Amino acid sequence: MATVMIVDEATVMRRRLRDILEPAYKVVAEASNGIEALELYEKMKPDFVTLDITMPQLNGLAVIQNLLARDPQGRVIIVSAVGQRQVVYRALAQGARDFFVKPFEPERVSRAIGPCSLGFLAPVACCARACFAGIHLGRIRVRTYLR
């Protein structure tokens, strides 16, 4: 069974995500800020991480950068609030595998996590990285996916 760490400053969001994930995945850690997330990641080595963007002490973008610098094979899925489109693009370009938007539905969470738990990149992540690399082939698909 794949392991996951949930990172979100809101306890209610962590609990909701745990309820969605636990039938299929083992939640090995929860963190409420970026610094705690990096410490727990080193200790627990989860197969993937769900990561909120807006957090105290160290935001999600900084966590992605630090986490992937330490573990280039790390798998991160962004949890974003509506209206954070540019931040999501940056997170995907930095190495996040996929994203879903709060408030989230179980089906969307499953679509994001399924490929990630197996080590694959979601199509949106590939498109976002291409866009940020100056290759605009996937731009329309990324915009459509974020709606």
Q: Which domains does the chain have, with CATH numbers?
A: 3-146 (3.40.50.2300)
- Taking residues 33-56, what's their average pLDDT? 95
In this prediction the pTM is 0.79
pLDDT digits (tens, 9 = 90+) for 69-89: 999 999 999 988 866 788 888
pLDDT score recorded for residue 77: 93
pLDDT digits (tens, 9 = 90+) for 99-127: 888 888 888 888 888 755 555 444 444 44
- In Å, how far from its chain's centre is CA 91? 8
Closest CA to 47 of 108, 106, 119, 112: 119
Pair 138, 131: CB distance under 8 Å: yes
Of 48, 68, 38, 60, nearest to 116 (Cα)?
48
Which is more confident, 87 or 137? 87
* Residues, the chain: 147
- The pLDDT of residue 89: 87
59 pLDDT higher than 70: yes
Look at 44-48, 69-73, 140-144 and tell me which has the smallest mean pLDDT: 140-144
The pLDDT confidence band at residue 29, using thresholds 50, 70 and 90, is very high
| Confidence band of 18 (pLDDT split at 50, 70, 90) | very high
Using the predicted structure, report yes or no on whether residue 143 has a pLDDT greater than 60.
no
